[in-house]
Amino acid sequence: FPTGDRPNKSVQQRAVKAAGLRAVREALGTTWGEVEAFVNKEPLPIVVKPVESAGSDGVKLCKTKEEAKAHFQLLMESQRKCGAQGAAVLCQEFLKGKEYVVDHVSRDGVHKCVMVWVYDKRPTNGAAFVYYGMIPVPADSDIAKQLIKYTEGVLNALKLDNGPTHGEVMMTSDGPCLVEMNCRSHGWDGAWVPLAKMLTGGYSQPDVAFASHLDGGAFASIPAVYPSPLKATGQNVMLVSFFSGTVRSTPGYDKMKQLSSFVALQTGVGIGSRVELTVDLFTAVGVLVLANTDLRKMEADLAVVRRMEKEGLFAFDEEVDPVQAEPSPDTIVPSGRRRTESFESKEGVDSRWSVAMKGDDRQGPLLAAVFAAGGLGGLLGG
């Protein structure tokens, strides 16, 4: 890319701004002096984050200049210790609005929008941004139309003409604004794939990515925008823990699998696992896929899950009292830490990728490779 490394968030914002699209106000630096003037004039709070990250790791909403400076220095020190290439820190305006995900697959500059999702993020356990879920947005809604048009402008600005992309966009009072564009498939270890196939009536981003590289005819047959109305009702639910301890049993998981809307559960938590308070994607205790032809039943099942979280999903070896969460420390994730390890569904699927591969054994290894291409760079990403 002519102006730098495309995964670099600052490079992306500069290219988007040059294309005449709304971009975030920001300052990039490796020393505090390089960003101090920006922080002094930017309204608080501001967002401070590493220039390359995934799953909201290292991202912090800073309410004072002193807090911003301390987090900036912590991030630079953390990146240096782990030997990050191109280590730097971004200070950005705090975008007020709702965050959406816009997933595309492209072939020779032709973009196909395969889904728009909206994040459900809430302050929890002392952290400002905790994922509670990801909800599909109808393609014929005004919001989706604005987001798709803007995101395809971003793809053109970044010259992302081929393959899958995963855009995160904030809908602000003055329109869509890029948070970041990930040059890969949607992450979350593919937990969303079963629901995506139900919503579209049969395809998901990995399927279309496969076609974009190896089957031009199949790619051409995919509509420019996913179907509306959607073929099912459902959402991906991030499971939140309000308790910490060593897991003795998982009664919450057992109850979830009996829900009428249960489709799949992906989690790395089992007997003997150490569970911490959920403060980011890395400390989430699973991804639950719910879908139902009856919206009221799906919503009722979701309410049951949220109640179980507050009551406790696990039995612990220790005697656990409800936790009054203090403001969480900066969420820097140790190198090599994984968020999920296993996958279960109504069909009894064991393999992490087998849901995406179901239906055509010949495509299995290739679909896994397409997914892994995103997973290797963003296995822990959203």
DSSP code string of 211-238: HHHH-HHHHHHS-SB--SS-SSEEEEEE
pTM: 0.76
Distance CA 21, CA 14 (A): 10
- The reported pLDDT for the residue numbered 326 is 42
**Closest by Cα among 139, 149, 146, 292 to 228:** 139
DSSP code string of 5-18: -TTSHHHHHHHHHH
Residue 62 pairs in a beta bridge with 46
| CB 285, CB 317: distance < 8 Å | no
pLDDT in tens, 48-103: 988 765 555 688 999 999 999 999 999 988 865 555 556 889 999 999 999 999 99
Peptide bond into 123 cis (omega under 30): no
Using CB atoms within 10 A of its CB, is residue 83 exposed (0-12), middle (13-18) or buried (19+)? exposed
pLDDT in tens, 284-341: 999 999 999 899 999 999 999 999 999 999 999 976 655 544 443 333 333 333 333 4
Amino acid identity for residue 325 in this structure: A
| CB 204, CB 196: distance < 8 Å | yes
Which are the contacts of 334, defined by CB distance < 8 A and separation ≥ 6? none
User: Encoding tokens for residue 286?
Assistant: 């699973």
Distance CA 219, CA 48 (A): 39
pLDDT in tens, 161-198: 999 999 999 999 999 999 999 999 998 778 889 999 99
Q: Kind and range of the H or E element at 256? A: helix 251-256
Residue with tokens 């076609």: 211
Distance CA 141, CA 150 (A): 14
Strand order in the sheet with 46-50: 26-29, 89-93, 46-50, 60-62
Distance CA 204, CA 193 (A): 6
User: Encoding tokens for residue 112?
Assistant: 């196909």
| CB 111, CB 104: distance < 8 Å | yes
Largest CA distance in the chain: 59
pLDDT in tens, 128-167: 889 999 999 999 999 999 999 999 999 999 999 999 999 9
End-to-end CA distance of the chain: 24
Residue 49, classed as helix, strand or coil, is: strand
